[in-house]
Structure 1
Amino acid sequence: MSASLARLTAGGFSIGIEAPLDNDWTHAGEQARQQDGRLPGEPDLQRHAGLAQLADRLGFRALWVRDVPMYDPSFGDAAQVFEVFSYLGYLAGITKDILLGTAAVVLPIREPLLTLKSAATLQRLSGNRLVLGVASGDRPVEYPLFGRDFAERGSNFREQVALLRDGAQSGLPPGLDVLPRMAAPLPLMAAGLAQQSPAWIGARMDGSLAYPGTPEDHARRVAAWRAVAGDKPYATFIHLDLSEGADEPMQRWRFGFRGGRDALVEELAALRAAGVDHVGLHFRRNRRALDETFHEIAADVLPLFHA
């Protein structure tokens, strides 16, 4: 297991954060978006750097960013806006310990050698903090814009994984190389199945990035993952609205819930018992200030789970 994945799962379970660092999916957030003239699904990133540094200082294990190359109003989600490798390079420079994850880089629409060079650069400059989540993508409108065939994304994904695995050594003419060379293979986690069979993903990926769900959902998915991948890491995400009342009961919605700190602890414990190794918390629905929410989780939740 790579150093970054070993850190992700150290102690048997860990908690991270998923960008963007804004609660723009709330009523107040939507009002602010309209006043600012931002597009639907475009977060306010004025405080993203300070919040990333706060998450780092407070001991959250990883900060995850998505790869959304084109803004598509039919999806209404611009993710964290910035280009994924450029943004993680910036975050690497302003943080010290937090792992930097992609959830996930859409390989088939990217130039393979530049993806390799970008990932290797980020791994070197961050001090081996990169966890490279990869995917085949699910937005057909993007592929022709990049000169790629949506129908061939599965085979393209396999080819790019092979290139990332061997550092392009098997496909380069004699004498050429991609620098910086990697001291160890890049840690690859697959988002979903990426148009592959479960056996292929289990054998060739270092971990799984699973879609959000209930603990019961994850118990079934983890069992299927363990059957093809053994004890490789399994991570997922929760869309969280943490209420001020610690004992406020859980109200589930798609991909997450609203509830108090007690409900969050109960959910995380259930996910850990289901075999989940890491959970990234997503705060775009969170009605409270994010710094206040981060502090509460760091003080009263992280110590229960981070060894």
Structure 2
Amino acid sequence: MNSHFQRLLGSTHFSIGLELPLDNDWSKSGQHLRMAEKRPFGVPDLKQHAQLARLADTSGFRALWVRDVPMYDPNFGDAAQVFETFSYLGYLAGVTENIMLGTAAVVLPLRQPWLTLKAANSIDELSEGRLLLGVASGDRPMEYPLFGVDYNQRGAHFRSAVELLKSQGTGRLPEGAQLLPQREERVPLLVAGLGQQSPNWIGEHMDGWLAYPGTPQEHRRRVGLWREVGADKPYITFLHLDLEADPYAPMKPLRFGGRGGRMALIAELEALREAGVQHIGLHLRHSERPLVEVVEEIAEYVLPGFHSAG
């Protein structure tokens, strides 16, 4: 297994991370603050982003996941972590030490492929091998004309970019030319969705799958499909979570996740692991509690049961 995945999954072959931004702007209190500060819906409060990233790192979470949202579109209503993806990853590499840094996912058709390759290798070098490169074909039609890209051709652009990233440009440069920095081990490529490709193409060319959130039952079915085309390559997904203060509060459905106490969270994570999921990125923007409390509680009571062998 690629060393990046070994660091992510550890000896238990299952791990837990966090999806950025670390904000609870989708909670009731977060909405009140957002309106008071006159921020559009989906634009997070980033005043504590560095402190929270460091807390996640020192608390034992295995990955921080960032999304690639070039333009804020009010019709989608989500600016993700606001900062440009690779610029932010470079910053995060400097303020953290151990946590993996993942993209979920870079929109390849909107990026110049050679510069994407150089940016990915740079982040991986600066972070000492901590980058997980999730990629996608994108789903916001408004962005494509701004970048001079035909939305209907995004699948072909995606496929071409993946081929360059996997080859590291070998055989495509003039004699003596190099794209620096060079990495001894290629950054692994994970796909969000199918990138406008067939499942068989995805299974053959990608190193892992970033699956959309779902129930354990849904993931069991998807894992089965992934194993048919992707063999034993990692299967990763995300879970929207509002962790209640009562540790015994039952889990109630929430769009893309649930609301409940830590015992219900542990049960949900166990069910997802049993279904074949290997890494979960927790999304906390619905959290009604302060995020520091939530992150510290999960680190103390939840992570040890999944990250420690035995």
1:84-163 residue pairs with structure 2 within 5 A? 84-163=85-164
**For structure 1, which segment, 60-69 or 172-181, has the greater mean C-alpha deviation from structure 2 after superposition?**
172-181
Matched with 2:4 is: 4
Separation in structure 1 between the aligned mates of residue 115 and residue 57 of structure 2, nearest angstrom: 28
* Secondary structure in structure 2 of the residue aligned to 1:104: strand
Separation in structure 2 between the aligned mates of residue 38 and residue 87 of structure 1, nearest angstrom: 21
Alignment RMSD, CA only? 0.8
Give aligned pairs, total: 307
1:51-66 residue pairs with structure 2 within 5 A? 51-66=52-67
Amino acid aligned to 2:103: T
Separation in structure 2 between the aligned mates of residue 29 and residue 21 of structure 1, nearest angstrom: 12
Identity across matched positions, percent: 60
Amino acid aligned to 1:24: D
1:56-84 CA deviation, whole Å, 9 max, x = no partner? Answer: 00000000000000000100100000000
User: Does structure 2 retain, via aligned residues, the 8 Å contact 1:9–1:233?
Assistant: no
Q: CA deviation at 1:8?
A: 1.4
Q: CA deviation at 1:167?
A: 1.1
Separation in structure 1 between the aligned mates of residue 26 and residue 252 of structure 2, nearest angstrom: 17
1:1-307 residue pairs with structure 2 within 5 A? 1-10=1-10, 11-307=12-308
Separation in structure 1 between the aligned mates of residue 149 and residue 84 of structure 2, nearest angstrom: 19
* Secondary structure in structure 1 of the residue aligned to 2:45: coil
1:213-247 CA deviation, whole Å, 9 max, x = no partner? Answer: 00000000000001111111000000000000011
User: Does structure 2 retain, via aligned residues, the 8 Å contact 1:212–1:237?
Assistant: yes
Separation in structure 2 between the aligned mates of residue 231 and residue 28 of structure 1, nearest angstrom: 42
Separation in structure 1 between the aligned mates of residue 172 and residue 255 of structure 2, nearest angstrom: 43
- Structure 1-normalised TM-score? 0.99
Q: CA deviation at 1:201?
A: 0.6
Q: CA deviation at 1:186?
A: 1.5
Q: CA deviation at 1:6?
A: 1.5
Unaligned runs of 5+ in 2: none
Q: CA deviation at 1:199?
A: 0.8
Q: CA deviation at 1:184?
A: 1.2
1:72-129 CA deviation, whole Å, 9 max, x = no partner? Answer: 0100100000000000110000000000000000001101111011000000000000
- Structure 2-normalised TM-score? 0.98
**For structure 1, which segment, 225-234 or 3-12, has the greater mean C-alpha deviation from structure 2 after superposition?**
3-12
User: Does structure 2 retain, via aligned residues, the 8 Å contact 1:169–1:177?
Assistant: no
**For structure 1, which segment, 271-280 or 1-10, has the greater mean C-alpha deviation from structure 2 after superposition?**
1-10
Amino acid aligned to 1:3: S
* Secondary structure in structure 1 of the residue aligned to 2:239: strand
Q: CA deviation at 1:175?
A: 2.5
